[in-house]
């Protein structure tokens, strides 16, 4: 038997092992947008404290409202601060996304549609480069961070799509082509097809991903998103 | 000087907040990556904590509590990151080079022990991991940990006790583990 002192020493040594510094890129990505983010007034924070702790979804709404919804989103700030991968963030364009999002299939499918009054609605389509869409709003609340990689329209490029989606109590993410990193190969599958009509570009995505608040059973997600002026 | 920076930041001085954040971001990252055992999740948690800190700083009543408050935001960020990513990573990843042994030793038993600790830590919840990291990495006393987490000190103690028993048991397979239902609260 090993004594507690020895095991505690081993545990401390094990905990000490690991990185002690954040990357310079991460530091800049985190701190650079702050001067353009508005602070909440103290009376508002105090009021929320008295009302009680916010539900996670309401908290997400609050973050979006404070950081983004008031038109304060600086270039490069992702929805709700979720940019797990350090992928390039989208420039805000004048185009807006409209979408229909379906979780599951058949009678139990849940469908969400874009709300024209959502606080964040922006997309940017580049014919030869990556395309992005950001959306946050509606009731129930939907938050979409959508990326289509360059070359997705070419033969064999159909999996070059990634998204992080929160819709009501559902959460999924997929990134089969590892456009943003941090995803295990084979964890999710997704395909995107792209069509253009006039100045509108439509992305039709079919994905299967194990991420969900309701267990790790793979869930089917279909998203038809149109980016138009 | 620190308090002056905090007060300036609370009044909307982004440069002051930048100075405060730069001084702390490595430490915050080191804590988060030890709790979550994942670089991307740790970055998410730190980013969320600092952005929330900036947004809510005008509501901080006592500037002396800035660091404790920031740690609390970070742990909340870790909970959130842990929840949203829990389906992606079923096991905690080792942070170190597998050839690098615990405590600077090189023996195969130490490598085995580190792997066992990785596995045991993976089975702990964020609330237990946070206490272990704050106590053993930051050297924070239990009363302070309780304050940061907003739990009674008995709960912090119980969580640490539970987590350490799990970790010790992982590297002492012959030692029996006592029933722990109470400690998992």
Query: Strand pairing partners for A167?
Result: A142, A170
Note the pLDDT of residue B2.
86
Q: Are residues B120 and B182 in the same domain?
A: yes
DSSP secondary structure string for all residues of B12-23? T-HHHHHHHHHH
* Cα B152–chain centre separation: 18
Cα–Cα nearest to A34, from B63, B57, B23: B57
Q: Is A17 on the interface with B (CB under 8 A)?
A: yes
Residues B104 and B178 in one domain: yes
Which of B55, B60, B72, B94 should be substituted to probe chain A, the one whose Cβ sees the most A Cβ atoms within 10 Å?
B55
The three-class DSSP label of residue A120 is: strand
A171 within 8 A of A131, measured Cβ to Cβ: no
| Distance separating alpha carbons of residues B8 and B23, to the nearest angstrom | 16
> How is residue A107 written in tokens?
């009678």
Identify which of A41, A25, A42 has the alpha carbon closest to the alpha carbon of residue A86: A25
Q: Who has greater pLDDT, B169 or A114? A: A114
Are B116 and B54 within one domain?
no
pLDDT of res. B103: 45
The total of structural domains in chain B comes to 2
Task: Quote the pLDDT of residue B128.
Answer: 92
Nearest to A15 among B58, B100, B136 (CB): B136
Whether residues B105 and B174 fall in one domain: yes
Q: Is the pTM of this model over 0.80?
A: no
- Mark yes or no for CB contact B29/A86 under 8 Å: no
Report helix, strand or coil for A97: strand
Token pair listed for A77:
């700030």
8 Å CB contact between B78 and B126: yes
Each of the 229 residues of chain A gets a pLDDT tens digit; together they read 456 777 788 888 888 888 999 999 999 999 998 888 877 765 444 444 444 444 444 444 444 444 444 444 443 333 333 333 333 333 334 689 999 999 988 888 899 999 988 767 888 888 777 888 888 777 787 888 888 988 888 888 888 898 888 787 677 888 888 786 656 677 788 999 999 998 899 999 999 987 655 556 788 999 999 999 8
Residues of B in contact with A216 (CB under 8 A): 87
CA distance B105 to chain A (A): 10
ipTM value greater than 0.85:
no
Beta bridge partner(s), residue A163: A146, A174
Q: Which domain holds residue B1?
A: 1-90
A64 touches chain B (CB under 8 A): no
Average pLDDT of B79-92? Answer: 58
Average pLDDT of chain B, as a whole number: 81
Same domain, B136 and B151: yes
Domain shared by B79 and B102, yes or no? no
Two tokens at A152? 């997705």
Task: Please tell me whether residues B24 and B55 are part of one structural domain.
Answer: yes
Interatomic CA distance for residues A178 and B9, integer angstroms: 38
> Do B75 and B118 have their domain in common?
no
Q: Pick from A89, A77, A87, A113: which is nearest to A222 by CA?
A: A113
Q: Which residues of A102-123 are buried (b: 16+ CB within 10 A; e: fewer)?
A: bbeeeeeeeebebbeebbbbbb
Give Cβ neighbours of residue A193 (< 8 Å, ≥ 6 apart): A158, A203, A204
Is A81 in Cβ contact with B88 (below 8 Å)? no
Shared domain for B50 and B109, answered yes or no, is: no
The more confident residue out of B181 and A19 is A19
Phi and psi, residue B55, nearest 5°? -65, -35
Q: Token pair 């030890």 is at which residue?
A: B34
Residue B59 shares a structural domain with residue B139: no
Same domain assignment for residues B27 and B98: no
DSSP string across B71-130: HHHHHHHHHHHHHHHTTT-SSPPP-S-TTSPGGG---HHHHHHHHHHHHHHHTS-HHHHH
Distance between CA atoms of residues A103 and B83, nearest Å:
20
Of A15, A30, A56, the CB nearest to B47: A30
Buried b or exposed e, range B120-140, using 16+ CB within 10 angstroms: bbeebebbbbbbbbbbbbbeb
Task: Give the domain-ending residue among B90, B120, B153.
Answer: B90
- pLDDT for the residue A140: 80
Q: Among B143, B172, B127, which residue's Cα sits nearest to residue B68?
A: B143
Token digits of residue A221: 């997600």
Residue-level pLDDT at B140: 92
B150 and B83 both lie in a single domain: no
Q: Report which secondary-structure segment, H or E, holds A15.
A: helix A4-16
CATH of the domain at B117: 1.10.10.10
């Amino acid at each position: 038997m090993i004594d507690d002192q020895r095991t505690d020493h081993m545990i401390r040594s094990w905990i000490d092992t690991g990185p002690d510094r954040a990357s310079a890129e991460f530091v800049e990505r985190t701190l650079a947008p702050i001067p353009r983010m508005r602070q909440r007034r103290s009376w508002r924070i105090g009021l929320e404290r008295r009302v009680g702790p916010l539900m996670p979804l309401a908290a997400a709404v609050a973050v979006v409202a404070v950081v983004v919804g008031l038109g304060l989103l600086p270039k490069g700030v992702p929805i709700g601060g979720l940019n797990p991968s350090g992928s390039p963030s989208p420039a805000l364009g004048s185009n807006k996304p409209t979408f229909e999002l379906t979780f599951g299939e058949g009678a139990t499918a849940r469908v969400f549609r874009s709300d024209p009054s959502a606080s964040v609605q922006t997309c940017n389509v580049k014919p030869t480069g990556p395309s992005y869409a950001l959306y946050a709003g509606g009731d129930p609340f939907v938050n979409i961070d959508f990326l289509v990689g360059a070359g997705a329209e070419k033969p064999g490029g159909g999996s070059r799509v990634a998204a992080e989606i929160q819709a009501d109590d559902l959460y999924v993410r997929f990134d089969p082509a590892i456009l943003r990193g941090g995803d295990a190969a084979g964890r999710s599958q997704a395909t995107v097809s792209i069509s253009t009509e006039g100045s509108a570009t439509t992305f039709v995505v079919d994905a299967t991903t194990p991420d969900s608040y309701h267990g790790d059973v793979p869930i089917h997600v279909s998203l038809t998103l149109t980016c138009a002026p | 000087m620190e308090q002056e920076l905090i007060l300036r930041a609370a009044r909307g001085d982004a440069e002051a907040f930048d100075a405060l954040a730069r001084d702390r971001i490595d430490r915050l990252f080191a804590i988060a990556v030890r709790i979550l055992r994942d670089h991307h999740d740790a970055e998410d948690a730190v980013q969320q904590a600092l952005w929330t800190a900036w947004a809510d700083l005008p509501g901080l009543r006592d500037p002396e509590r800035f660091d404790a408050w920031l740690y609390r935001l970070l742990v909340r960020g870790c909970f959130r990151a842990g929840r949203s990513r829990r389906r992606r990573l079923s096991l905690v990843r080792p942070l170190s080079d597998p050839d690098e042994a615990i405590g600077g030793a090189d023996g195969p038993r130490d490598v085995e022990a580190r792997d066992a600790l990785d596995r045991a830590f993976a089975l702990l919840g964020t609330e237990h991991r946070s206490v272990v990291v704050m106590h053993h990495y930051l050297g924070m006393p239990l009363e302070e940990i309780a304050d940061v987490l907003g739990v009674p000190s008995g709960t912090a103690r119980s969580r640490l006790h539970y987590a350490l028993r799990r970790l010790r048991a992982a590297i002492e397979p012959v030692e029996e583990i006592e029933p722990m239902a109470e400690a998992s609260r």
